[in-house]
Structures are given as C-alpha cells and as structure tokens.
Structure 1
Amino acid sequence: MKVMVIGSGGREHTIVRKIKENKDVTEIFVLPGNGGMAEDATCVNIGAKDIEGMVAFAVENQIDFAVVAPDDPLVLGAVDALEKVGVPCFGPNARAAILEGSKVFSKNLMKQYNIPTAAYEIFDNMEAALTYLDTAPIPTVIKADGLALGKGVVIAMTREEAKDAVKSMMADKIFGASGDHIVVEEFLTGPEVSVLAFTDGKTMIPMVSSMDHKRALDGDMGLNTGGMGTIAPNPYYTEAIAKECMETIFIPTMEAMNQEDRTFKGCLYFGLMLTPNGVKVIEYNCRFGDPETQVVLPLLESDLLTIMQHIAKGTLAEAEVKFSNKSACCVIMASEGYPQKYETGFPITLPENNETIYIAGAKKEGDAILSGGGRVLGVTEVADTLAEAIQKSYATVETVSFENAYYRKDIGQKALAAEV
C-alpha cells in the first residue's frame, strides 16, 4: 500500500513514523517533507499548497491513501481535489476546513449553536473597530479572520496595543487578505487545554489531552511561537471536564457542521480555556496540532492508518482507538532568535537511537542533516509518570546538538505543579 503525506514539519514526521507501523504499507511519500525525514519516507519536492502537483503525483504513482496534514492545503481544497481523482483522504474537505480557515465563520457558528466561547465583535471596517476599542474592556484579543501561520492573534494588554494590532492587520495588511475582517474578543483566563479528536461526522472520539507552551522563553515569557513544547495528558483536564466538553462542545460542534452541510471528517482540534465560568472554545483547528501531535500520537496504541481509513469511509464507530495510560513530553529545540531572526545551516548531531526525535526544520546535504528552520526538531519521551517523561526528554536533549540550539528548560513544570 502506497501512502502520501502532505506537509513538512514535526507533526508530519510523527504521522509518518506512526503510519510506518502498519504492515500493509510498502511506501510512504512526503510532499515536500524535509531532510530529516528521509530515513522514514521518500521526500518529494512538491509544495504543500501545490494542489495540482500533488494530484498529478498521486495519479502517476497510484497512491492508495493520502493524509493532508497542514491547514493551508485543507482550506484550499486539497482533499476535494484528491478525492475527485479517486484517492481516499484523511482530512476535511474545503467546506469543513472553513472552521479554521475563517474565525468569523467559527465564532458565528458557536453563537448560533450555543457552543460556549468568548464574547466577540466582528469588524470589516477599521474606523469602526478603533471606535469600539475606545470603550471595550481591556485586556482584549484581536484575531485576523483567515489563516496567518498561527500568528494572527494578538493579546492586547492596553488600548494602544489593541489599536496598533487592528491597524497592522487592516491597514498595513501584515497577514494579507486574512486581515480584511477581524474579530475583537473577550479576554478569558484559566488553564488552557488542547484536545484533538477523531471524527467522521457521525462519531467523535477525543484523543489524549495535552498542554502546549507557546511562549519563546522560560516562565511563559517572550513572544508567541508555533509551540516550544508539549506534555500529555493535561492534568487540568479531569474526567468531569472531559464529560462537560463532550456534551457542550465536541458533539454540538460535529452536529452543527452537519446542520450547515459541512460534515467534518478528519482530526478536529479544540483549543479550550477552563474559565471560572466553565469551559470555553478559544479556537478550532481543522487538523492535528503541532507540536501536540508529537505527544499525542506516541501514546496511541491502535493503528493510526486503520483509524484514518475508517474516518475516510465514515465507519469510525467500527475502529479500535486506544491510548496508553502513560505520559509524554516533547521539548522543541529551536534556532536561537526564533520566532524572529535566526540563522540556519548548522550540522545536527543526533543519538544513534532517534526514534522519538521528530524533525521539523532540516535539510540534507550529502550525509549531513543541517538545521533549516526556526523550530528544528522535537524530542519526545514517554514514561509511566509525567515527571519521568520530562526527565527523560531533557536527558535526550543533552544528546542532540547543533550550533545556536535553543530550548525552554521548563516544559511541563506548570503541569507538574497542577498534579500536586
């Protein structure tokens, strides 16, 4: 069986490694992949947004199944295009991917179907947004409507910051057309939880909860990044909260999308805030989160590809989905200076056993693997307890080296404090 995975980061490397466990798989192609994945799959130089290119490749190479992992190709309709030529896919079609593709759509959906979320206002006129901010409660959250590489959200602590964010999105167009419409949202407080869920539009099976560490520096200081590390499960996410989420958020979201004739099939990501007034949705993503995937999938004991095939067929209820009771920790090793200016092109030294190291940004030159991005790799370890998983991850980090490597030293500490 030939499988094609679209994407190039640590998330995709984790998915590839998990799919490799299926004995029926003969070949895995990653489009475009990166130099650090070459041992696990064949990297093909076709960009994740080159839908015409990926469709032609799939037909020519008689691909049996495709996994579309990143947000951009999902929103652009990669699944629709591949299914049109007879390639079954894991991932939502474009109509369903709008759940992440438009924050205006997702906020209005939650309002219409009584799914708990932060209070909000929508603007397509900059002057109206600035006038509103004269009296809006501060702090507040400003969000660009469309995709912005995970950077389209500003938490403004002052009116001046809020207005600057609006101007940069709507006037300066720092996110292009994604800033044509913006959402100004109530600032929520409480622990954050990420929950990924498998769904075929009829059945919803949440995966193990996780906790992301988005800030660049220790102590949750510094700029927001794509994620500097994750742990799973999240100790704040109790059985009672999981039940509340299933009843008030997960199932209602699945049913709302069905009502809108936008049936969602794939991985639905729920970004949640456990507020003093109950659980609320901060955001939806239409795909596996990165780096949450790097701790969630290593805990999956069932066969990932089989689950994905069931979702594509609409038979998720028949699939075995089992997670271990262990804990996982992923520490991201980045290039110093990320998420702003940083240098790449330095040789990466990896330990001989690197099955739990997922490469996010690297290129291959001869036999050498060189750093090739802001986030370079994720070191994941699994253990019986969270404390052990964290300790093992940092021990493995010590065996990895490249010039200007930077990582946070406190991944998982907040979770450990919550366990006490």
Structure 2
Amino acid sequence: MRVLVVGSGAREHALVRALAADEQVARVWAAPGNPGIAAEPGAAGCRPLDPLDPAAVVALAAELDAELVVVGPEAPLVAGVADAVRQAGTACFGPSAQAARLEGSKAFAKEVMAAAGVPTAAARACTTTEQVAAALEEFGAPHVVKDDGLAAGKGVVVTDDRADALAHAAACLGRTGGGTGGGTGAVVVEEFLDGPEVSVFCLTDGRTVVPLAPAQDAKRAHDGDTGPNTGGMGAYSPLPWAPPGLVDEVVARVAQPVVDEMDRRGAPFAGVLYCGLALTSRGVRVVEFNARFGDPETQVVLARLRTPLGGLLHAAATGVLDDVPPLRWSRDAAVTVVVAAAGYPGRVRTGDPVTGLEAVPAAPGAPYALHAGTALDGAGRLVSAGGRVLSVVGTGPDLAAARAAAYAGVARVHLPGSHSRTDIAAAALRGSSA
C-alpha cells in the first residue's frame, strides 16, 4: 500500500513513523511534512503542498498513485479535503467536512450530543457579550468560555475571573466572522467539569467503533497545570489510575451513540473520533470532540500500538473495520514531552537553532524526537519554525522508565529560550490523576 499523510506536525511524524514500520505499507510520504519526517528511516520523504487546497491534495495523491490518504490536522478536514479525495476515487482516512463539524463547531457538537443522549457539560451558545454575561451568571465560577470554531487548542479559557472570561469571549466574537473553521460565529459558555481529563481515540468507519488505548495530555503551559492553555505540552499512556471498564463505557455511552447519530443525519463520521473526557464525580462527561488524532496523545498511543497501522486506517477508510481482529498493544508505557519555543503559547520566537538531536541515540528503546515546528534555514541548519518545536518520546517497561527516557532525550536537545514542563506523568507515578 502507498500512503500519503497530509500535515506537518509531530502528530504526522508519529503517523509516518508507524506507517513506515508497517510491512504492508510499500511507501509513505508526508505533505508538506517537516525536516524530521524527511529524514525518517523507511519513509519516502516530503512533498510541497497547501494542505487546505483540496484540489492540490487530490492531484498529489494521483501523482504518487496513493492508495490511502491520511489527513492529520483538523483545518483540512473542515475545508473538505477528505470529501475531495474520496470523490476522486482514493480511500481517505478522515471525516467529511460535514462530519468534521463535530470539531469545527462546539455548538454543533453539543447539539449532536443532546440528540444522542451523550453526557456532557450544560452549555449556552452565545453571539453577544450580553448573552455571555448571562451565561456566566447562570453557571458560576470557574468560568469556561470556548471559541465555537477551530483555535488550535488555544480557544478555551477556564478562569475564576469574570472579567477575563468576558474579555476572551469579546475577543472571539470580535474576530471577522466570529468563530473560524466551521464555527457559527459564537462562543460557547459551559458549566465547569470537575475531575481528571482523559483522551480516548475511537477509530470508526461510520458504523463500527474500535477504541485505542487512553492517554492523558497536559494542556497548561507550566508545571502544576498552571499558565495558559496550549495545544498540549506532553502526554502519557497507559493510565494506571483509570477506572476499570473506562474504554468500554466510552464506546457505549459516547462514541457509538455519536457515530450512530451522525449516520442518522446522513453525515457518517469515518476516521478517528477524539473523545476528550472529564471523569467527574457524576461520571464520564464529554469535554470536547476532535475529528482527528490528538497531538501530543498520538505520539504515546502509537508508540504502544502493535497492530500494523496501515491496514487499520485503510479498513476504517473503506468501511470494513468490523473485519479487524482485536488490537494488540505493548505492555510498555510511553511518555512524550514537548519542547516549546520562547514565548509559546503567546508570541513565538522562531529561527533559533535546534541542536543536540544527534546526541539522542537511534537505538531500540531509546528516546526519539518527533518534529513539530522545525525548518531548515538557508544554510541547511535546523531551526525552530513554530510554537511546539519537538515532541520527545520515551518508552519503557513502566511509566517511571518511560518518563526517565523522555526527559533524558529532552536534556540532550538545545533550543535557546525553550521551555518544557518537568512534571509530565509525575502525578501518575504517585498514584494520582493530576
């Protein structure tokens, strides 16, 4: 099988790495990719591409004679890339633009969950600051305000300060057209959900649901879950503190009902349904849905998956996921730690040299770096080109060993002004969820 992966981040690097290790995958390309993917052993390299241009993706897939296109980021899905690829006759892993509204519009996701009877936070979609003020009063503090559209993981504010909540809402509503990427031009104000958050990816072909191993990511920028929300500063799997039967409950109460409701609406969801969950005192509640693999959770989930990825994604893309045998998982743990550029998640400094990767040993069981925001400068030197620059992954027989490996890898990397959280998976080692 010949596979084209659309995207350029650490998630796509993790996908390419897993696909390149699949004996049933003859060649795997990424577009536009990044320098790390271009150097990935077993991969066929990177091709230039505007991932938001459906016609360009279709043309490149045809040029490469790809038998499967895997769309990594959310924005191309909302832009209809998967629709165009399928219409051209190529199998595509990723939902249609209509189905991707589960991520593209939080208000739409709430509507679907209500129709499907899925447990989630009470919420109000607001289009004016007056409506926001009333909703904040209704739900009380801590205040949760979300941009309805796509915001790269940074459109959510959770705060006890009512003025901060109102300011975030006003900023979202003040942008041209309101929400972006399929949003309704609104903000969603929700009740606060207590309890630890968990991510469960569910592969689906529009009817059958196959869950992957759960993971937990760290959204806040700084240790102790402090600072602003980010796209994710690290993740780990498995979750030793997770209640037994969690994944089965998520499939039965969340993923399958939503997949069935989307099918009933004539917009079947085929791809990966990312279920962001809170394990509250009242039970499992949905925090959000994403229409693609999450970053950085993908890095640790795929590090533990032993079932070949290519056939699994192709089965989901072609409607035969019910034929897939039970998934196989490593007993090892995996931890990833993000190396972020100076200023992230605010105004990011780019163009700084990234060195030390040559000191990260390329041996089985050794930590490895997945590239996210990197580029080559005019002299061919690796430099930072985004907020989250690298995702360093460590594996080991338990979380302690995996965590030690990941941080050993981080210690070898040098990026001026960079920062990383030092507490990824630390609470889990103490038997706690956070």
Classify the secondary structure of the residue corresponding to 2:355: coil
1:275 counterpart = 2:280: yes
- Tell me by how many angstroms 1:352 deviates: 5.4
Match among 178, 186, 191 for residue 181 of structure 1: 186
When normalised by structure 2's length, the TM-score is 0.92
Q: Give % identity.
A: 40
CA distance in structure 2 between the aligned counterparts of 1:175 and 1:330, rounded to whole angstroms: 34
Match among 347, 351, 354 for residue 347 of structure 1: 354
- Tell me by how many angstroms 1:218 deviates: 1.1
1:95-145 residue CA offsets vs partner (Å, 9 max, x unmatched):
211111111111011112210000111222333333443454222211121
When normalised by structure 1's length, the TM-score is 0.95
1:115 counterpart = 2:118: yes
1:393 counterpart = 2:400: no
CA distance in structure 1 between the aligned counterparts of 2:383 and 2:356, rounded to whole angstroms: 9
CA distance in structure 1 between the aligned counterparts of 2:382 and 2:104, rounded to whole angstroms: 34
- Structure 1 residues 138 and 30, CA, compared in 2 at 3 Å: closer, same or farther? same
Residue 341 of structure 2 aligns to which amino acid in structure 1?
S
- Structure 1 residues 352 and 164, CA, compared in 2 at 3 Å: closer, same or farther? closer
CA distance in structure 2 between the aligned counterparts of 1:179 and 1:404, rounded to whole angstroms: 38
Listed as ranges, the matches of 1:373-384 within 5 Å are 373-384=386-397
Corresponding residue number in structure 2 for 1:357: 369
Q: Which runs of 5+ in 1 are unaligned?
A: none
Listed as ranges, the matches of 1:280-359 within 5 Å are 280-320=285-325, 321-345=327-351, 346-350=353-357, 351=359, 353-354=361-362, 356-359=368-371
Classify the secondary structure of the residue corresponding to 1:190: coil
1:130, 1:166 within 8 Å by CA — same for their partners in 2?
Answer: no
- Tell me by how many angstroms 1:176 deviates: 5.2
- Tell me whether 288-297 or 120-129 shows the greater mean CA deviation: 120-129
- Tell me by how many angstroms 1:207 deviates: 0.8
Match among 56, 65, 69 for residue 66 of structure 1: 69
1:348, 1:368 within 8 Å by CA — same for their partners in 2?
Answer: no
Match among 89, 95, 98 for residue 95 of structure 1: 98
Residue 404 of structure 1 aligns to which amino acid in structure 2?
G
1:51 counterpart = 2:54: yes
1:145 counterpart = 2:148: yes
1:15-68 residue CA offsets vs partner (Å, 9 max, x unmatched):
000010123434322111112221124222212212221112222332221101
- Tell me whether 174-183 or 263-272 shows the greater mean CA deviation: 174-183
2:156, 2:229 within 8 Å by CA — same for their partners in 1?
Answer: no
CA distance in structure 2 between the aligned counterparts of 1:403 and 1:56, rounded to whole angstroms: 39
Corresponding residue number in structure 1 for 2:267: 262
- Tell me whether 1-10 or 169-178 shows the greater mean CA deviation: 169-178
2:342, 2:416 within 8 Å by CA — same for their partners in 1?
Answer: no
2:124, 2:135 within 8 Å by CA — same for their partners in 1?
Answer: no
- Tell me whether 285-294 or 328-337 shows the greater mean CA deviation: 328-337
Corresponding residue number in structure 1 for 2:233: 228
1:170, 1:179 within 8 Å by CA — same for their partners in 2?
Answer: no
**4+ residue stretches of structure 1 with deviation over 4 A?**
172-179
2:340, 2:420 within 8 Å by CA — same for their partners in 1?
Answer: yes
Corresponding residue number in structure 2 for 1:193: 198
